[in-house]
Amino acid sequence: MVQLGKRPFIGHLNFRSLPIRQWSHHGWDLFMIGIMVCVVCGVTFLYIEQEQNFNWWIGWWGRTWSLANLARSDLGQFWQDIRLSLTWERNSLYTLPLLPWIWVFGQSRTVYTIALAVTYLIPFCLGMGAIAQILVCKQPTPAHPFLSPTLNNHRSIFKPNSPTPRQIFWGTAWLTLLLPVNWMATFLGIPDTGSAALILWALWVYLKDPQLKQWFPIVLIGLLLAGAIIIRRHFSYGAIALMGAIAAHTIMPFIPTLIRRPQLVIRPILKKLSRLCLLVMVISATLLLVVPEFTMRALTINYRVLYASWSLPLDDTLHRYLIYFGGVPWLLAILGWFIIRQRSSATSPPYGITLTFSTIGLGIWLIALRYGNVFYALHISHFVVLGMVFTGIWIGRQSNSKRNLLSFGIGLYLITNAYLGFTGGNSNHPLLRWFLPPLFSQSMPPLVQTDQEELIRLVRYLQNLPSTTLTGHPALYVNGFQRLQLSPSLLRSIEYYFNPYFPSKLNLLQASQVNSDGIDSIPALLNAEYMIIADPLWQYPGDPSQVPAVGEWVLPQETQLLNRVLQAFNENWSYAQSFQLLPEEFHLARQTVVRIYKRKKTSTMAAVELLIKK
């Protein structure tokens, strides 16, 4: 049976020390929160207003303001749509805290992205500060100065004259914002930062009570981890990493005694395991109650196989994550973790748990999965940020001359790195291209598409194509994968951008785009009335610094069907002979030409099988 302590965990937070009259003593913290909100809103506004693209990720934004309008007109239907979305891969729960922003400030993408930043990015930064506070201070302390009247009495392990917990908290939070990669999920319009924040706060709750003696942290950790998974499925890996760290630090202390005298530790081990099982039960129960269909799919589908095409070579993955953060932040992070390891408190549970959690996460993303999309960097951001904090505190303990020189150099670097990351600066200068990518983070400026007018013309042309079967909108086969060039999702986004309230006029057939997606393309190839062919197809050059960070890149051999379809029409294979080339052409960026082919006769199965042959 789980043995729960008598003192409730929530008592550790000292809420009794928070009468209203005491809040006036924390004006500095309120001021810092206000400044952070203003900075986040300002940076987001400036970034989004510089964009000139059709946002192939428009579905996240469009779903939010569609639900905002529905809630105003039909509240019952609104909740029905929310419940229905719980059966999807991407549900609509993330929209709930964003709706007031849409109601008050409007439906623009700028408003939506600012709402994402304030709602999800700021808690992510505060969670980072909360964890740094526990790791650096002598004793585990609350994550925010509001939560303890004695917070400023605890000094860090880098004593004497070390920063106070309040300084550590806010310094870490601001440092998190100075790394451009931490903003990218928000700028893409996806709620991944919210899941990352929930993972961090689950870690903080566990660090407050590593023994899990109370029922409250067990339930709270379970709810936070389940919430992270519900918002974005790939954060199940973050939950696995944290659960692995908890399991390791539950069992490891008993191993020496278990080997020598097992009878002495059987009962304590069973008690520990019972608490761990209770935590797993809370997570499982929450997922099954809230998103049962989603949970069953997650348990029955092998996502490693399904997403195998997105798995990059190890050297490419390491290079990609190196430039996402920059070489200098990685060096400072590794140095910081080494420094704190040498301190007397480095053997404490908070340090060991966090390092184990980080190590498992690094192993999952850099070695096991090797997915390269920029928003996956949120899974390992805490390792880089916390390591940099440890190095920064160590620098503060050096002599005045060293401290001033190092502080100035690192501060100048961080500001320059943020500027280059958000704007791109003059990173295309031949001299700068030699050292910017490895030392500084990859430039991630607002995306500007130079072929917007041509894409609009393409969509309008496709909308007006006549059906060869007179059964409504013609069936269109889009031979493209890269969303920054041409893909079904890009065409849908353009149409949705101009006609959000009307049914789609584009009947885009579902076909395989990468080798591992498991989609049967034979029906689409047989039924296509028009083939939309982009030539050439964008290919990943193998150097992530030479392509936009927000793209979705896979190795050329992972788009086998797309390559064969293009080859078939360029070389007039038997399948291509069933179509005739229309005179209209569309010229996109990077010298891409889009041609439209109209079916003139039925394709044979042999011709189709030649295309899909492995």
Give residue limits of the domains in the chain.
9-53+108-400, 452-612
Q: Say yes or no to pLDDT of 604 above 70.
A: yes
Bigger pLDDT: 262 or 534? 534
59 or 346: which leads in pLDDT:
59
Which carries the bigger pLDDT value, residue 447 or residue 380?
380
Maximal CA-CA distance, the chain: 84
448 DSSP 8-state letter: B
CA dihedral 247, 252, 257, 259 (to 10 degrees): 90
Q: What are phi and psi of 475, to 5 degrees?
A: -80, 120
Supply the pLDDT for residue 7.
Answer: 43
Chain length of the chain: 614
The segment with the largest mean pLDDT, out of 405-419, 462-476, 501-515, is 405-419
- Tens of pLDDT, residue by residue over 51-101, are 988 876 778 998 999 999 999 999 999 999 999 999 999 999 999 999 999
State what percent of residues in the chain have pLDDT above 90.
62
- Say if residues 588 and 534 touch (Cβ distance below 8 Å): yes
Q: Looking at the predicted structure, is the pLDDT value of residue 590 above 70?
A: yes
Residue 227 in contact with residue 346, Cβ under 8 Å?
Answer: no
Instruction: Write down the residue that tokens 């799919």 correspond to.
Output: 297
- pLDDT tens for 267-292 read 878 888 899 999 999 999 999 999 99
Task: Please report the pLDDT score of residue 386 as a whole number.
Answer: 97
Per-residue confidence (pLDDT) for residue 476, from 0 to 100: 96
Query: Which of 441, 180, 442, 178 minimizes the C-alpha distance to 326?
Result: 441
Distances (CA, A) of 473 to 314, 385, 402, 494: 44, 51, 70, 17
Q: What integer pLDDT is reported at residue 496 of this predicted model? A: 85
> Could you give the C-alpha distances from 403 to 150, 400, 406, in angstroms and in order?
29, 5, 5
Question: Following CA atoms 68, 69, 74, 79 in sequence, which dihedral angle do they give, to the nearest 10 degrees?
Answer: -30
Query: What are the two backbone dihedrals, phi and then psi, of residue 602, each rounded to the nearest 5 degrees?
Result: -70, 140
Cβ atoms of residues 229 and 235 within 8 Å = yes
297 to 87, 210, 300, 303, 495: CA distances (angstroms):
10, 32, 5, 10, 31
**Residue type, position 14, single letter:** N
Q: Say whether pLDDT at 243 is over 50.
A: yes
Q: How does residue 349 score in pLDDT terms, banded at 50, 70 and 90?
A: confident
Burial of 466 (0-12, 13-18, 19+ CB in 10 A): exposed
Residue 226 reports pLDDT greater than 70: yes
Q: Does the CA dihedral 319-322-324-328 come out positive or negative?
A: negative
Cβ-based burial of 313 (10 A; exposed 0-12, middle 13-18, buried ≥19)? exposed
- Sheet with 507-508, strands from edge to edge, namely 507-508, 475-479, 530-535, 592-599, 579-588
Please answer whether residues 449 and 338 qualify as being in contact, where contact means their C-beta atoms are separated by less than 8 angstroms: no
Render pLDDT for 420-466 as a digit per residue (tens, 0 to 9). 899 876 555 555 555 566 788 888 999 888 899 999 999 999 999 99
Amino acid symbol at 113: T
**pLDDT band with cut points at 50, 70 and 90 for residue 142:** very low
Confidence band, pLDDT 50/70/90 cuts, at residue 8: very low
Indicate if the pLDDT at residue 523 is higher than 90: yes
pLDDT above 50 for 19: no
